[in-house]
Amino acid sequence: MRALVAERAEMVKQSFFVKKVLKRPEVLSLLGLLFLSALMIVSTDNFLSPVNMTNIARQVSINAVIAIGMTFVILTGGIDLSVGPIMSLSGTIAASMMINGLPIPLAIFLGLLVGVLFGTLNGLLVAYGRLPAIIVTLAMMEIPRGIGLIYTKGYPMSGLPDSFSVIGRGTVLGVQTPILIMLVMYILAFILLNRFPFGRYVYALGGNEEAARLSGIRVKIYKMLVFTISGFTAALSGIVLTSRLMSGQPNAGVGFELDAIAAVVLGGAAISGGKGHILGTLIGALMLGVLNNGLNLLGVSPYMQKILKGVVILLAIYISSEKKGLKKN
C-alpha cells in the first residue's frame, strides 16, 4: 500500500514538473523550432544537408548577435530601432580605417566604439532625458545612416586587407568564425543575466520600474547600460558582416532591427519587459533562419516571405500578450 502511494506521489510530482517545464516560454519556442524544422524536412529535399545547416547557422549568426542587445533592452520594457543603422555605420567606419592603413585590431576597436557611443547616447536620452525609447531610437535610425552616407558619399568601401576576412569567412577548429562569435556572445550574455546582479536588476526594471527604484536600484544607470550593450552588439554584427562582404556598406542593415525584435519575441520574451530568456532569443533567431531558408528552398516569393514573417511576429506578440494578461478588452 505504501509503495502504491509513493508511486502515485512520484507520478504526480513528475507530471507537475513536466507541466511546469512546458509552460516556460523558451521551451515552447524550442517546440516551435522543432515543429518548423520537421515541416521543412518534409517539404524540401536538402534541408538537412550539412551545407544547408551550416548556411542557416552562418546566416542566423548576425541577427542572433544583434538580438542579444535587443533582449537586454526589451527585458527593461524598452525597444531599440536603431541597431540596423548603427551596425552599418560601425562596419563602414572600421572598413574606412583599414583602407586608410590602420591596423585591423585598432580599426575594429574604433568600429565597436562607434556602436557603444551611439548606444550610450540612446540610453542617456531615454534614461536621463526621459524620452520614449521608441521615439529616440526611431530618430537614431536616421542619424547614423545619414552620417555613413555622407562619409562614404553613398558608395561601398572596398579594398580591405585579406586577413580581415577571417572574421566573417574563416574557421576556428572547424567551426565558422561567425558561428563561434555568436556562441561566445550568448554564453557571456547568459552569464551576465543569470549569474550577476546586473541581470536581476534588468528583469526588475521590466517587471516594475517604480518598485525597482524604491528598492534602491539605480534605474537610470542600468537603463542606459542596456542600450550601450545593444549598440555594442549591433556594432559587432556590423564588423562580422563587413568581413563577410569584404566591404563597408553604408546601406547595410536595413530591416535588421525588425528581425532582432522578432527573434526576441519568438523566443518568448514579453514585449512589455520583465519576462524572457537569452536562450529563448537564440531559439527565436534560429526559427527565423529556418523559416527564411525553408521558404527560399521552396521558391516562395521574397514579397510573400515578408508577409509570412509579419504574420509570425504578430502571432508571437499575441501569444506573449495573452500569457501576461496584457490584451485589453
CATH 3.40.50.1700 fits 60-254, yes or no: no
Distance (Å) of CA 277 to CA 24, 55, 189, 191, 300: 10, 25, 10, 12, 32
DSSP letter (8 states) at residue 162: G
Distance CA 110, CA 105 (A): 9
pLDDT of 116 reads 97
* DSSP states of 73-95: HHHTT-----HHHHHHHHHHHHH
Distance CA 230, CA 121 (A): 11
Question: Nearest 5°: phi and psi at 207?
Answer: -75, -50
Cβ atoms of 116 and 228 within 8 Å: the answer is yes
Closest CA relative to residue 207, chosen from 276, 277, 274: 274
Read off the pLDDT of residues 42-66 as tens digits, 9 standing for 90 and up. 888 888 888 888 888 888 999 999 9
Distance CA 42, CA 2 (A): 49
pLDDT average per 10 residues of sequence, the chain (329 residues): 56 51 70 87 85 88 95 94 95 94 94 96 95 93 92 88 91 89 96 93 90 90 96 96 92 88 88 88 92 87 84 74 51
Distance CA 214, CA 147 (A): 40
pLDDT of 6 reads 55
Query: Who's near 70: CB < 8 A, 6+ residues apart?
Result: 80, 83, 230, 233, 257, 260, 261, 263, 264, 281
Share of the chain above pLDDT 70, in %: 89
Q: What is the pTM of this model?
A: 0.88
Distance (Å) of CA 221 to CA 2, 22, 29, 192, 224: 57, 35, 32, 16, 5
**Which sequence spans correspond to the domains of the chain?**
60-254
The CA R_g of the chain, rounded to the nearest whole Å, is: 21
C-alpha cell at 270: 514579453
DSSP letter (8 states) at residue 164: G
